[in-house]
């Protein structure tokens, strides 16, 4: 079975009297160990789709399974547990905790979610900081790092708890072209090495070429699937 499966998924937001349908009857299957991108203009439904797969929101109708688990009926506690165990997230604004060093930011999920013992934790954190090329910057605070460096730390943080799936909503939107490309390359490298599935969204056609499979969205629908 596919790692991610959506059947007939729709999402409608109510804004007062007005309803906005941000996803319309989406059918999707994403296999394990793939590097996938959602591309489309602003408002096409990329964030909604990632949020549904990431158990951050629920569909109005349809079924979603992630790693053989039906997730669309989760309550908020079940969703949080599932995210902690199976998913990693990378954000457009990096979302590093400003009072923690790079090292502590990467360590955070292992303390908060997984309760990994100290020795093992240190090993894991250093391994991932090294893998993203940030070991020598580990004691710096986010304010002392460039955007590209912050996103490298965020990639390490997303991977440290060994998730099956990493979701990245416009991870390069706040980066210059060179850093953006490097971050995507890094995600690709990590995907290759760890066999983690990555799904990232972007509206940048240059970056999309790096994905193995590209789904194009328009007005809440998947209108094209391209295999690179
Ligand atoms: P994208 O990430 O591709 O820009 P979104 O998924 O954010 O697209 O949005 C898709 C559509 O759903 C847009 O029309 C947007 O205005 C609407 N939408 C998204 N989130 C909400 C929300 N929380 N409340 C109301 N409308 C929303
Ligand atoms: Mg978005």
149 lines ligand 1 (CB under 6 A): no
**pLDDT, mean over the chain:** 95
Task: Give the number of residues written for the chain.
Answer: 228
DSSP string for residues in 71-99 = -TT--HHHHHHHHHHHEEEE-TT----TT
Tell me the best of 10, 16, 20, 215 to mutate to test the pocket of ligand 1, counting ligand atoms within 8 Å of each CB and taking the most.
Answer: 20
| Whether pLDDT at 116 is above 90 | no
Cβ 156 vs Cβ 128: under 8 Å: yes
Q: What is the pTM of this model?
A: 0.95
Q: 173: CA distance to ligand 1 center in Å?
A: 17
DSSP at 68? T
Assigned CATH topology for domain 34-59+73-227: Rossmann fold (3.40.50)
Q: Which residues pair with 21 in a beta bridge?
A: 12
Taking the C-alpha atoms of residue 134 and residue 152, their distance in angstroms, rounded to an integer, is 7
Q: What would the pLDDT profile of 148-183 be if each residue is shown by its tens digit? A: 999 999 999 999 999 999 999 999 999 999 999 999
Q: 219: CA distance to ligand 2 center in Å?
A: 13
Q: What would the pLDDT profile of 20-69 be if each residue is shown by its tens digit? A: 999 999 999 999 999 999 999 999 999 999 999 999 999 999 999 999 99
Three-state secondary structure of 172-185 = CCCCCHHHHHHHHH
Taking the C-alpha atoms of residue 43 and residue 22, their distance in angstroms, rounded to an integer, is 8
Taking the C-alpha atoms of residue 204 and residue 180, their distance in angstroms, rounded to an integer, is 10
Q: What are the tokens at 143? A: 């304010």
202 lines ligand 1 (CB under 6 A): no
């Amino acid at each position: 079975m596919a790692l991610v499966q959506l059947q007939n998924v729709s999402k409608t937001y109510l804004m007062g009297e007005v309803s906005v349908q941000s996803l319309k009857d989406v059918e999707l299957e994403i296999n394990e160990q793939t590097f996938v991108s959602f591309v489309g203009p602003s408002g096409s439904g990329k964030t909604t789709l990632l949020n549904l797969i990431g158990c951050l929101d629920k569909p109005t109708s349809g079924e979603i399974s992630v790693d053989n688990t039906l997730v669309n009926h989760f309550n908020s506690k079940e969703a949080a547990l599932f995210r902690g165990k199976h998913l990693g997230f990378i954000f457009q604004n990096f979302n590093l905790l400003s009072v923690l060093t790079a090292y502590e930011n990467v360590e955070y999920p292992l303390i908060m979610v997984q309760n990994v013992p100290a020795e093992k934790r240190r090993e894991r954190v250093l391994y991932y900081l090294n893998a993203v090329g940030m070991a020598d910057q580990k004691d710096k605070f986010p304010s002392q790092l460039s955007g590209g460096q912050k996103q490298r730390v965020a990639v390490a943080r997303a991977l440290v708890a060994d998730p099956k799936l990493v979701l990245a909503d416009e991870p390069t939107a706040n980066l210059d072209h060179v850093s953006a490309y490097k971050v995507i390359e890094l995600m690709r490298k990590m995907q290759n090495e760890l066999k983690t599935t990555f799904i990232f969204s972007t509206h940048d056609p240059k970056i999309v070429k790096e994905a193995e499979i590209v789904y194009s969205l328009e007005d809440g629908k998947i209108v094209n699937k391209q295999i690179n």
